[in-house]
Amino acid sequence: MKKILILNWKMQLSVNDSCNLAKKIIDGIDLEEVELGICPDFLSIYKISELIKNSQLKLGSQNTFWATKGAYTGEISPTFLKELGVEFIILGHSERRTNLKETDEIINKKMKTVLENSLTPILCVGENFEERQNNKKDLVIINQIRSALKDVDLKNIKRLIIAYEPIWVIGSGQAIESNEAQETNTIIKQTVSDVLYNCGLELKEKEFENKIQILYGGSVDSNNISKFLKEPNIDGVLVGGAGIKFETLNNLIKSIK
Ligand code: PGA
């Protein structure tokens, strides 16, 4: 299975900058070896969807609303995103949990709608520094996963991606060690298996691999990416800072090979 690379462009690039970067990626990056998805801001998605139509580049969004249509001023529907070719939706990124006060309950509502509409959620989970210092990391992550998947209709899970992102290393330039990410991803895998099992769905190893992938995110760069991707329970990475300039992105992808 190809390793997954998801780029979260956050609110870092204008529409023009996003389109230029998408064009450079299509022209300059070999997408045979990785599954590369970009998550531009909402304004750029329409233009980018046109640009990447005939390429292997995949499209994601950084957020969505929990309803598909209605009187929800300022919100963005997952089905409107799907119409534009969006496949992935990031849910529960720590920047939204912190700045926009997104709760586990809100994330659960979004999770249900995203799955009902056959989109792939990229659920972000992770501890803050204080939780880590107090040895609460595993508990926090397990609770975030359980809450996000609460009462989800299992038949809707075609594909689910979970990204472990320790909040305190995001954007810091200093990632955690790959073996620690591997250990946490193993706990994540076990937690998802347990949730599914308790709801009556027991997935064989291969089925699990096909449906559920677990990423690491937080200061991934060209110096550390290959260490993360060598770990057996790290199926890919979620990248912020290193994915918003062509040169750093190109280096990142070259260092996987
Ligand atoms: P970073 O961001 O790679 O800049 O640390 C990762 C993220 O926020 O998903």
Is 225's pLDDT higher than 80? yes
In the chain, what percentage of residues exceed pLDDT 90?
Answer: 91
CB distance 219 to ligand 1 below 6 Å: yes
Measure the CA–CA gap between 93 and 227, rounded to whole angstroms.
Answer: 23
Pocket test for ligand 1, best of 124, 170, 225, 244 (most atoms within 8 A of CB): 170
Looking at residue 53, its pLDDT comes to 94
Kindly give the number of the ligand 1 atom that is closest to the alpha carbon of 94.
8
Q: Which residue has the higher pLDDT, 198 or 240?
A: 240
Residue 257 scores a pLDDT above 80: no
Residue 123 beta carbon below 6 angstroms from any ligand 1 atom: no
Write down the pLDDT at residue 203: 86
Among 16, 14, 9, smallest CA distance to 57 is for 9
240 CB within 6 A, ligand 1: yes
237-252 average pLDDT score: 97
Nearest to 185 by CA among 241, 249, 141, 244: 141
Total domain count for the chain?
Answer: 1
217 lines ligand 1 (CB under 6 A): yes
pLDDT for 102 beyond 90: yes
Mean pLDDT in the chain?
A: 96
With a 6 A CB cut-off, is 125 part of the ligand 1 pocket?
Answer: no
Active site residue 93: yes
pLDDT in tens, 49-91: 999 999 999 999 999 999 999 999 999 999 999 999 999 999 9
CA of 183 from ligand 1 middle (Å) equals 20
pLDDT at position 201 is: 83
pLDDT at 220 over 80: yes
Q: How far is the CA of 240 from the centre of ligand 1 (A)?
A: 4
Whose alpha carbon is nearest atom 2 of ligand 1? Answer: 240
Model confidence at 160, in pLDDT bands (50, 70, 90)? very high
Q: Which of 95, 102, 131, 165 is catalytic?
A: 165
How far, in Å, from the CA of 199 to the mean position of ligand 1?
33
- pLDDT of residue 202 exceeding 90, the answer is no
User: Which pLDDT score is estimated for 204?
Assistant: 87
- For a substitution probing ligand 1, which of 238, 249, 252 has the most ligand atoms within 8 Å of its CB? 238
At 237 the pLDDT is 98
Domain that holds residue 170: 3-256
Whether 28 is in the pocket of ligand 1, judged by its Cβ within 6 Å, is: no
Q: Is 215 in the pocket of ligand 1 (CB under 6 A)?
A: no
What CATH number corresponds to the domain at position 222? 3.20.20.70
Report percent pLDDT > 70 for the chain. 100
What pLDDT does residue 32 have?
Answer: 86
Residue 178 confidence (pLDDT)? 98
Choice from 89, 95, 161, 220 to test ligand 1 binding pocket (greatest atom count within 8 A of CB)? 220
Long-range own/partner contacts, residues 150-157 (CB < 8 A, 24 or more apart): 150/108, 151/108, 151/112, 152/108, 152/111, 152/112, 152/115, 153/112, 153/115, 153/116, 154/196, 154/199, 154/200, 154/201, 156/112, 156/115, 156/116, 156/118, 157/115, 157/196, 157/211, 157/212
pLDDT, residue 127, reads 98
